[in-house]
């Protein structure tokens, strides 16, 4: 499976400013949605570093709407109110045009969680002039998750797996889904019996899993990219008379609820994205760019977190103080 190393993938460049600017002004954080804990935790990281560096911050709610987020960035640029911007993109490809406009005006802008551009697996800038990419490439993490499921399924034939993805309309979720399916397809004993969409929320995940169990009552593992999904999945399993601890359950995000569930033996693993650390690291680089200091352009969150990114009971036993960086 390999072990994620706690190092930074970096590309150091000088910010496109001369001299030392004063530490003041407002940095905007464009949340994919401000209504979930992951985005809120990312913003907390942004806020903490901004306050230390002498900046104020503002969060804008993208409502999981790519067109809305694009217009929010354009409006923010036109307002002249912000000295820097950090974006959690809803459309990592389509948002590139908005980034180009901001860069053309000389305003530092960075992306978190996903790279901006057509290649979701590179952290190197695909839009010339982007300040920082603090992200987790989808394919390596999804591969590690799926391989863990395959290892669990090694002695089961058949091993029936359910995949709960965020939403197929998102390019990054499609890439994760394709990766899950590709890895699992290499094992003849594994059968993906259903794919559901959880929309990063427990309620849709509960409904999706309930419907899946009605058609496929024999399930051995649930592979998901979000801990919020497993919250709903767990409720559906219990309602169907199943003990979640008897299945392999894999989530994503390393929310506090997931860390507790793994320690209690109810869930098996979660792939961490470390949202608060991610927001903090991105804000550091935006501040550096504003102030004319050297900038780290690429930060791999699979490697830059406080512990290993693929978290299971063994990792938590080695890191007893880790509680997760967000609730769920």
**Which residue, 271, 287, 317, sits at the end of a domain?**
271
C-alpha distances out from residue 110 to 120, 136, 149, 254, Å: 15, 14, 34, 23
Residues 202 and 222 in one domain: yes
Position 290 pLDDT exceeds 60: yes
DSSP 35: T
Residues 207 and 288 in one domain: no
d(CA 4, CA 167): 27
d(CA 11, CA 29): 23
Range of the domain at 229: 139-271
d(CA 77, CA 63): 19
**Quick check: is 192 in a domain?**
yes
Full strand arrangement of the beta sheet holding 248-252: 190-197, 159-165, 221-224, 248-252, 269-271, 310-312
The arithmetic mean of pLDDT across residues 318-325, rounded, is 95
pLDDT in tens, 15-42: 333 334 556 899 999 999 998 889 999 9
pLDDT in tens, 193-250: 999 999 999 999 999 999 999 999 999 999 999 999 999 999 999 999 999 999 999 9
**Quick check: is 302 in a domain?**
yes
Residues 114 and 197 in one domain: no
**Number of domains comprising the chain:** 2
Helix (H) or strand (E) holding 72, with range, is helix 66-79
Residues 157 and 254 in one domain: yes
**Quick check: is 18 in a domain?**
yes
pLDDT value for 95: 96
Residues 223 and 295 in one domain: no
Residues 58 and 30 in one domain: yes
CA within 13 Å, CB half, 201: 9
**Quick check: is 62 in a domain?**
yes
Residues 147 and 98 in one domain: no
**Quick check: is 178 in a domain?**
yes
**Which residue, 248, 271, 294, sits at the end of a domain?**
271
Residues 253 and 193 in one domain: yes
**Which residue, 271, 291, 321, sits at the end of a domain?**
271
pLDDT value for 22: 52
**Quick check: is 150 in a domain?**
yes
Residues 126 and 109 in one domain: yes
**Quick check: is 322 in a domain?**
no
Residues 144 and 266 in one domain: yes
pLDDT in tens, 48-88: 999 999 999 999 999 999 999 999 999 999 999 999 999 99
In sequence order, the 6+-apart residues with CB closer than 8 A to the CB of 226 are 164, 166, 198, 200, 251, 252, 253
**Quick check: is 279 in a domain?**
yes
Residues 16 and 68 in one domain: yes
In sequence order, the 6+-apart residues with CB closer than 8 A to the CB of 265 are 245, 313
pTM: 0.85
Residues 110 and 184 in one domain: no
CATH number at residue 64: 3.40.50.2300
pLDDT value for 14: 34
């Amino acid at each position: 499976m390999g072990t994620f190393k706690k190092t930074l993938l970096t590309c150091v460049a000088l910010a496109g400013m001369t001299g030392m600017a004063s530490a003041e002004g407002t940095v905007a954080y464009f949340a994919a949605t401000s209504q979930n804990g992951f985005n809120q935790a990312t913003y907390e990281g942004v806020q903490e570093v901004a306050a230390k560096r002498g900046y104020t911050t503002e969060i804008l709610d993208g409502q999981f709407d790519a067109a809305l987020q694009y217009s929010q960035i354009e409006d923010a640029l036109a307002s002249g109110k912000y000295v820097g911007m950090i974006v959690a993109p809803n459309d990592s490809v389509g948002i590139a045009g908005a980034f180009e406009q901001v860069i053309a005006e000389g305003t530092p802008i960075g992306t978190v969680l996903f790279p901006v551009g057509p290649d979701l697996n590179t952290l190197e800038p695909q839009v010339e002039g982007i300040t920082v990419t603090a992200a987790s490439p989808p394919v390596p993490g999804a591969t590690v998750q799926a391989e863990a499921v395959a290892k669990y399924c090694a002695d089961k034939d058949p091993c029936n797996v359910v995949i709960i993805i965020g939403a197929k309309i998102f390019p990054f979720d499609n890439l994760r889904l394709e990766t899950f399916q590709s890895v699992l397809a290499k094992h003849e004993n594994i059968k993906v019996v259903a794919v559901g969409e959880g929309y990063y929320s427990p309620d849709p995940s509960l409904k999706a899993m309930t419907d899946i169990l009605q058609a496929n009552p024999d399930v051995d593992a649930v592979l998901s990219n979000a801990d919020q999904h497993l919250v709903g999945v767990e409720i559906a399993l219990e309602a169907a008379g199943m003990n979640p601890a008897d299945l392999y359950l894999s989530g994503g995000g390393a929310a506090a609820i997931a860390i507790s569930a793994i320690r209690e033996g109810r869930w098996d693993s979660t792939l961490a994205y470390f949202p608060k650390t991610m927001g903090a690291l991105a804000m550091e680089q935006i501040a550096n760019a504003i102030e004319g200091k050297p900038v780290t352009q690429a930060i791999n969150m699979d490697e830059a977190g406080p512990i290993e990114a693929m978290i299971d009971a063994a990792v938590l036993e080695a890191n007893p103080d880790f509680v997760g960086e967000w609730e769920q």
